[in-house]
Structure 1
Amino acid sequence: MLRAIGRALMSALSGLWKNTLGVVNWCEQLLRWPFSVIVGNGGRAMPTPGYKPDVSSTQLLEEFDEARARRAAVHTLDRDGVDTVLSYTRTTPAGRATFDLGPVKEDLRTALLDMSDLELDALGRAGLSAIRKFVDGKPHGVFGVRAFTPGQPIKAVVPERTEPKTVQERMLWRVRARAEKAGLQFQMPR
């Protein structure tokens, strides 16, 4: 019962709203009519202006394609090899074997070929500014990637060889290692 009353009220309100819009439209036309008679269209709708374009749709699409190609070519200018290094680091290890490193300088090419997959992956995940700094030989701040100096090949980081330890030093190292492994270094002394 309540549902039927609600529907009747809603239909009455929607009918009232539609009629209100019709009345507003009729009043607007009534107010506009004298001015349209004075201006000269006699109450008729204004004629639409005729426009005939002199360019066909295929010519317009070709022009857009050419503009898109020019815009894309600006972004692929690879003056210093940054885009080549970026694309080389982001390719798969199997794809790196056939990758063309011709656009980069010879010392950078040998440095890239000498780098491990982990270093290349870390460099590929770094930002464009870090890769640009790497190519320029500046400190790039990418963890796990060796510094590159233009004109010199990348030298692998080899730990320095130390002199053999004495028996007492080896014993001390063993005790410290076992203490650190057991977590005893974090306990308070008694």
Structure 2
Amino acid sequence: MVAVRDNRRMLGKLAVVAVGMFAFGYALIPIYQRICEATGINILSLSERQVPGVGAAGKDAKLPANTQIDYSRTITVEFDANARGPWEFKPEKRSIVVHPGELATVMYEFRNVQSRRMTAQAIPSYAPNQASAHFNKLECFCFNQYTLEPGETKRWPVVFYIDPKLTKDVKTITLSYTFFEVGGKAPAAPAGSVALAAGQRLS
């Protein structure tokens, strides 16, 4: 009888230990998140999420999810498109409003209206100039050259976030792209047109 009581007592202790270990493991995730929020580490979380339609090949791409967003500020991001040639190039939206640190996506559409194949690439520029150091693109068609068949249309994403360290006096950023055909002389970044766009609100 003594041995049976000892075994039951030991079994009870083991059950308590098992429950305590489970509770501790379950609490680790919120504890870790609280530590990250308190210390300010992990501007971009190591956890990943799927963003449909992102990627040069049109496949889903994994992007880090934002964990640090400055909800006290908003920045208007305007999108401009300049086509140096006989083709159509435009953003899906003229502007969006984002919070610093917030992940955002805007689509650009390009159409080759010529009767021949062409290869082209885009050059980005920013206004005001100091915004370029804080405009972080995770995915952009400007990273590569693209070949389009006659009459072919492509839609490409720009996935970005604005660093919260951007000075608070910047309320509007204009992202401008100049699309030019590869093989010809690459034009300079359209600084004049961007400055104009920064001073005039796009409709």
On whether the aligned pair clears a TM of 0.5, the verdict is: no
**TM-score range, shorter-chain basis?**
under 0.3
Choose 1 or 2 for highest CA Rg: 1
**TM-score normalised according to structure 2 size:** 0.24
TM-score (norm 1): 0.25
Higher RCO, 1 vs 2 (CA within 8 Å, ≥6 residues apart): 2
